Structure 1
């Protein structure tokens, strides 16, 4: 994130369009509950390495277990309330439900 300040505008804009970047920004916007720290599980994991993947998953679950509150970021849901019925038009790639 700090590396964005050293990038050119075009490169910076390309990074800002990535799902992981939006997830971090949206998480920060949501977590205005007086917490000093926010942990977002957006990272690069080498899924080819079963050891690295296993370590990353175990670490992630430790963070969840020890958290005071957890937020779930659903990149394809714009509303504040989770959809309660299928919407084939909005979620056409995932059988009418958010991914």
Structure 2
């Protein structure tokens, strides 16, 4: 589904049906070395936020991983840590301007 989102295709099933197994394998090998857009943007914003905190606080303790909204890979994730729950992600996303946040407690416009 990430591959379909990368190519801005809403119909990921149709995209896979049009693709051969060898082509899918080639894309898989390519995206192991090249990040998907959402991963790349998360890394950029997390690094920017970490640098801002380091400049303001004068401390080097804040890292980009502390500000990342996406879960870390299994090999990078320390033992005992869990993926952030939806409530935490929604709270973190409230600071991002330019959009409307929809959740289970949202009410329709009637």
TM-score, length basis structure 2:
0.26
> Whose relative contact order is higher, 1 or 2, with alpha carbons under 8 Å and at least 6 apart?
1
Which protein has the larger Cα radius of gyration, Structure 1 or Structure 2? 2
Q: Looking at secondary structure, tell me which structure has more helix per residue.
A: 2
